[in-house]
Structure 1
Amino acid sequence: MLQIIYFGCFCITLLVLLFLLAYGRTVSVDIVLLSVVIAVSNGGFFALSKASNLEEAILANNITYGIGLFSPILVLLVICNICRIAFPNILKAVLIGVQILIYFCVCTTGHLTIFYQSIELHFGEAGSYVTKTYGPVHDLYLLSVLVYTASGIVVVIYALNKRTALVSRRNLDMILFTDILTVGLYLLERLLHLKYEMMPLVSTFSIIIISSIVIRVYFFSVYYNQNMFEDEIIKNGYIMFDKNLRYMGANNTARQLYPELNSWELEKKIPGNGGRFNTFLRQSLMKYVQEGKIEATKGKTYEYKGELYCYDIGVLLRKGSSIRGYYIKVSNLTDVLR
């Protein structure tokens, strides 16, 4: 039964990977790499449960360490992207390089005692499993897991305080929860010396949750759709909504034009308590949605404090014709007409 579960987790993570690849350049390389790492590692867990000799078990066990070594730093990078916190490429390369060196130590299992002092293969009713005595480098591996998890918590707290996140607090909490759950389960397994790994189940659950959140970020965020708006992203304001008219974000220009956007909660319905947006844009947006149009409205104007503004309303489409959301583009025409 456990082997079937491992194989199912492997297949599910492969489907998640294909789903992410279908979005092409819409998603970042970090989330794609995370799904690759989890898929390959889940395959390793399945292979370990089917191992018939120690050599096969060691090889499969080495593959499973992809989750522990590379998932924590990749999750941290995903969190930094979502929270709009720059992560220097040089630092990224150094940290990943350290993880690769630790992985090389994992691959010495059976030859050196720096990662495992000993490893034995056992056969149980649910499949094959190994018991291990850990070496000194394993402590460094555990330290890296804890450091990256703690760093993710710090980044989320900072982003919530500075309101830099591209997703709601609920979604940030969900990503953080899956990260802490994965690490917590791993530490619990080591503490209780469990025979069989539950990591494939948790990691599969985690990649599904994280991928669903990240896809929404990269689809609706103005910051990740700059190629759609080209050089107009700076001089024009853009406000994004999903198909249920929940607020999904805006660029800095839009926040300056409509200061109330700074207090709006992401992924929540448009507040109805005044403000320039409700005064000048809300009614037109509602009418556009009710009419079910696909073509963008062009050239609607309004005047505010002697300034003339023009706005367009359009749809965000999936590949095909189904509506994924809406955008509003606002331009200041005052200087153009002078």
Structure 2
Amino acid sequence: MQMTFYYLITTILSMVNLILLVYTYENKKANYYFMLSMLIMALSNCGYLALARSTQLYEAVLANKIGYLGGCFIPLITLFLICTICNYRVPGWLRYILYGYSFFVYFMVLTIGYNDLYYKDIALGKLGDATILVHSYGICHAFFYVILYGYLILEIALLGYHLMKKSAISKNKLWILSMMVIFNIVAFIIGRMIHPNIEIMSLLYVIDGWVFLYLQKKSMMYNLEDSIASTIQQQEVYGYIIFDNELKYMGCNKVAQKVFPDIAECKVDNVLEGAGQIKVLTEWLQKYVNEGKDKYQHRNGEQYYEIKVGRVLYREQARGYVIEIKDETDRLKYMSLISNYNNELLAKVNEQTQELREHQQKIEELYLQTVTALSEAVDAKDRYTSGHSKRVAEYSRMIAKRLGKSVQEQEEIYRAGLLHDVGKIRIPVDIINKKGKLTDEEYNIIKVHPVTGYHILSGISGSKQLAIAAKYHHERYDGKGYPNGLAGEKIPEVARILGVADSYDAMTSNRSYRSGLPQEVVREEIIKGRGTQFDPEIADIMLQMIEEDKEYKMCQNDLQQKTILVVDDEPMNHKILMHIMSDEPRYKIVAVTGGQEALKALNHQDFDLIMLDVMMPEMDGLETLRHIRKIYNTPVVLMTGNKTLDTSTDFAELGCNDYITKPFLPLLIKEVVYNMTERTVVGK
């Protein structure tokens, strides 16, 4: 019988298990119980192998003591591991008692060869080609059975209780652990019945190691803190809900459960099913998987949350999905109060938010005033190109939108367009307005204005990108521009956009020495400059805009102002919307407080957009919308604070083009306004 080979194989396999576990935990905080169990299993199997190879009694006794490490400590560590998985915290005093008992039993083991307390009548024997330790049991050996069977009974009881109890613990993991414990008991008893000197535990340690490796792999998903640490650096208190690659629910933390209490009823390892909050979560997941949409806003009572959906990554592999929940209540609280204000609430809002709002408002107003004043000052110097900066800003924003830029990025590019020629403010008026050809000296003075603009804007806080745009908007794609002779994508993208927009307006505007060029001539010039003067991609976008501009409206000196009718019974909401759109001079807001007033206004004036509050006294927003749709096709955006209404269905059936929820978010408002009013404008 090749027993030595059996112990050699089990020892090698247990060592491999330990190495695999260490490798899996590379760069991560190891699970204490998994790591300790695998280490003791490997040491115990080394002891069994050493015993099989022993030739002297003292060698066999020492090897047997090493082999006993698993018997004394593995049942206890497995019990603590099960407690951890079941979210049961063992009290410190009880933990010390249990560890103390295991160390006491192992101390009895260490007395083998010195007294008869644990083993007596010890001698060497043979089983096949392996050495065995022949012995009879001493009185203290009974303590070992308490460890062997007592801990196993506790493990089975704990696992059975949680298998029957409804909890957020993975039933799969509990069943696997239950099967492992039962298998260990049955295998140990059968092994003793077959031959009392065959150490079946050596094989069981290998099998248990495989089970622990599998559970550890699953723990990468089930252990919420561990999973999140792999993907996201936490800066505040966030809520997290974890799903595997098959969209099965894996668990959540307390913050997430507080926001979505219905999830406490969901079963781990199952796809979420249900209505209400559960339906919302599943829709977010499906939209992320199918459409890539990863950001949402959620309201729970008076609390506002920003929701992000993403992947859980480990070793650059996608291991599942995570829904991140961030509390945005503090930032949006004052707007929430405004939407439901009364005199008492208004006083509280003013008291709690006045300083913050005034500070923010002053910065924004000062910034906008600076931008507007500088832009108007530059245009005022050239009587032939008045409005040039605004037109360049508009064309640049059109291009940015077609490039897929966000609303915020479009705004930044628009402002860069307003100030791209700010450096001309230091150029003498007689040079700017000269009718004839410029001399070389005069042209060199003109060429300084990008650098001058850069220095002017660099002195304004928060204007770094504007300064860069002003400096490089006369660079050419082929590197023959000024001031630095940059080429290709080394030219900042915003400057490449401005370069095309600036050239287009220069060609289409009336100048002192010529009238604006025909659209076809402009088109040919842009084609000629594609890849030399202009970025090819941006030039193609401008050519597309020209192609769509059949009525030659895009190059008119005064861009058409859009008029928005705001219908809301709360005047404070009028002020908020006017403030949000205050930096958009081509939008004019007409405000009324009721449905009847809105219908009268529509009889006397055409509007480009109607923003209509749903909840109003007398004629509410929905009734007003029905009256509007009988006569007018004007785009209508409904404004609501009702989060429970199925807005996407109910509003669309009434002829609503879009809807927004209160409190108002500035970027969202602007995006909706642009989308609704710029449908028929070239480049929008």
Q: TM-score, normalised by structure 1?
A: 0.86
For residue 46 of structure 1, what is the aligned residue in structure 2?
49
Superposed CA deviations along residues 171-196 of structure 1, whole A, max 9, x for unmatched, are 21221221232234334444554332
- 2:165 aligned with 1:174: no
For residue 75 of structure 1, what is the aligned residue in structure 2?
78
Pairwise CA RMSD of aligned residues?
Answer: 2.6
Instruction: Kindly indicate whether the alpha-carbon contact (under 8 Å) linking 1:13 and 1:39 is maintained by their aligned counterparts in 2.
Output: yes
Rate the CA distance shift 1:115–1:4 in 2: closer, same or farther, 3 A: same
Superposed CA deviations along residues 47-92 of structure 1, whole A, max 9, x for unmatched, are 2222223222222111111111000100001011111111123332
Superposed CA deviations along residues 200-238 of structure 1, whole A, max 9, x for unmatched, are 1112111211232134225442255576664744xx321
For residue 125 of structure 2, what is the aligned residue in structure 1?
122
Rate the CA distance shift 1:72–1:310 in 2: closer, same or farther, 3 A: same
Superposed CA deviations along residues 242-279 of structure 1, whole A, max 9, x for unmatched, are 222221101123223333322322122333x323132x
- 2:69 aligned with 1:66: yes
Q: Which amino acid aligns with 1:201?
A: L
Cα deviation, residue 35, structure 1: 0.7
- 2:200 aligned with 1:205: no
Q: Which of residues 300, 321, 328 is equivalent to 2:323?
A: 328
What is the CA–CA distance in structure 2 between the aligned matches of 1:74 and 1:3, rounded to whole Å? 28
- 2:11 aligned with 1:16: no
Return 174-183 or 32-41, whichever deviates more: 174-183
Return 101-110 or 87-96, whichever deviates more: 87-96
- 2:332 aligned with 1:337: yes
What is the CA–CA distance in structure 2 between the aligned matches of 1:11 and 1:264, rounded to whole Å? 42
Superposed CA deviations along residues 87-121 of structure 1, whole A, max 9, x for unmatched, are 12333233222212221211222221000122232
Instruction: Kindly indicate whether the alpha-carbon contact (under 8 Å) linking 1:26 and 1:219 is maintained by their aligned counterparts in 2.
Output: no
Rate the CA distance shift 1:336–1:159 in 2: closer, same or farther, 3 A: farther
**The residue matched to 1:194 in structure 2 has which SS?**
coil
**The residue matched to 2:310 in structure 1 has which SS?**
strand
Cα deviation, residue 305, structure 1: 5.7
Identity %: 26
**The residue matched to 1:281 in structure 2 has which SS?**
helix
Cα deviation, residue 29, structure 1: 1.2
Q: Which amino acid aligns with 2:318?
A: I
Instruction: Kindly indicate whether the alpha-carbon contact (under 8 Å) linking 1:237 and 1:254 is maintained by their aligned counterparts in 2.
Output: yes
What is the CA–CA distance in structure 2 between the aligned matches of 1:158 and 1:231, rounded to whole Å? 38
Give the paired residue count.
328
Instruction: Kindly indicate whether the alpha-carbon contact (under 8 Å) linking 1:84 and 1:164 is maintained by their aligned counterparts in 2.
Output: no
List runs of 5+ in structure 1 lacking aligned partners.
Answer: none
What is the CA–CA distance in structure 2 between the aligned matches of 1:165 and 1:80, rounded to whole Å? 14
Matches within 5 A, 1:269-288: 269-271=271-273, 273-278=274-279, 280-288=280-288
For residue 238 of structure 1, what is the aligned residue in structure 2?
240
Instruction: Kindly indicate whether the alpha-carbon contact (under 8 Å) linking 1:179 and 1:206 is maintained by their aligned counterparts in 2.
Output: no
Relative contact order, CA 8 A, sep 6+: which one is greater?
1
Cα deviation, residue 314, structure 1: 1.8
Rate the CA distance shift 1:170–1:281 in 2: closer, same or farther, 3 A: closer
For residue 251 of structure 1, what is the aligned residue in structure 2?
253
Rate the CA distance shift 1:111–1:334 in 2: closer, same or farther, 3 A: closer
**The residue matched to 1:26 in structure 2 has which SS?**
coil
Q: Which amino acid aligns with 2:297?
A: T
Return 132-141 or 187-196, whichever deviates more: 187-196
Rate the CA distance shift 1:57–1:115 in 2: closer, same or farther, 3 A: same
- For the pair shown, the structure with the greater C-alpha radius of gyration is 2
Return 182-191 or 195-204, whichever deviates more: 182-191
- 2:212 aligned with 1:216: no
Matches within 5 A, 1:290-305: 290=290, 297=294, 299-303=295-299
Cα deviation, residue 162, structure 1: 4.8
Return 255-264 or 107-116, whichever deviates more: 255-264
- 2:111 aligned with 1:102: no
List runs of 5+ in structure 2 lacking aligned partners.
Answer: 334-684
What is the CA–CA distance in structure 2 between the aligned matches of 1:165 and 1:55, rounded to whole Å? 52
What is the CA–CA distance in structure 1 between the aligned matches of 2:225 and 2:167, rounded to whole Å? 12
What is the CA–CA distance in structure 2 between the aligned matches of 1:174 and 1:75, rounded to whole Å? 13
For residue 260 of structure 1, what is the aligned residue in structure 2?
262
For residue 289 of structure 1, what is the aligned residue in structure 2?
289
Return 121-130 or 170-179, whichever deviates more: 121-130
Instruction: Kindly indicate whether the alpha-carbon contact (under 8 Å) linking 1:17 and 1:36 is maintained by their aligned counterparts in 2.
Output: yes
Q: TM-score, normalised by structure 2?
A: 0.45
For residue 156 of structure 2, what is the aligned residue in structure 1?
153
For residue 91 of structure 1, what is the aligned residue in structure 2?
94
Instruction: Kindly indicate whether the alpha-carbon contact (under 8 Å) linking 2:239 and 2:324 is maintained by their aligned counterparts in 1.
Output: yes
Cα deviation, residue 161, structure 1: 4.9
What is the CA–CA distance in structure 1 between the aligned matches of 2:296 and 2:251, rounded to whole Å? 22
For residue 3 of structure 2, what is the aligned residue in structure 1?
2
What is the CA–CA distance in structure 2 between the aligned matches of 1:229 and 1:88, rounded to whole Å? 31
Instruction: Kindly indicate whether the alpha-carbon contact (under 8 Å) linking 2:192 and 2:198 is maintained by their aligned counterparts in 1.
Output: no
**The residue matched to 1:141 in structure 2 has which SS?**
helix
For residue 310 of structure 1, what is the aligned residue in structure 2?
306
Rate the CA distance shift 1:18–1:289 in 2: closer, same or farther, 3 A: farther
Instruction: Kindly indicate whether the alpha-carbon contact (under 8 Å) linking 1:241 and 1:326 is maintained by their aligned counterparts in 2.
Output: yes
Return 224-233 or 23-32, whichever deviates more: 224-233
What is the CA–CA distance in structure 1 between the aligned matches of 2:329 and 2:175, rounded to whole Å? 43
What is the CA–CA distance in structure 2 between the aligned matches of 1:190 and 1:111, rounded to whole Å? 26
What is the CA–CA distance in structure 2 between the aligned matches of 1:143 and 1:245, rounded to whole Å? 44
Superposed CA deviations along residues 10-38 of structure 1, whole A, max 9, x for unmatched, are 22222222233231543321221111110
What is the CA–CA distance in structure 1 between the aligned matches of 2:258 and 2:43, rounded to whole Å? 46
Rate the CA distance shift 1:143–1:231 in 2: closer, same or farther, 3 A: farther
For residue 33 of structure 1, what is the aligned residue in structure 2?
36
Rate the CA distance shift 1:230–1:332 in 2: closer, same or farther, 3 A: closer
Instruction: Kindly indicate whether the alpha-carbon contact (under 8 Å) linking 1:175 and 1:210 is maintained by their aligned counterparts in 2.
Output: no
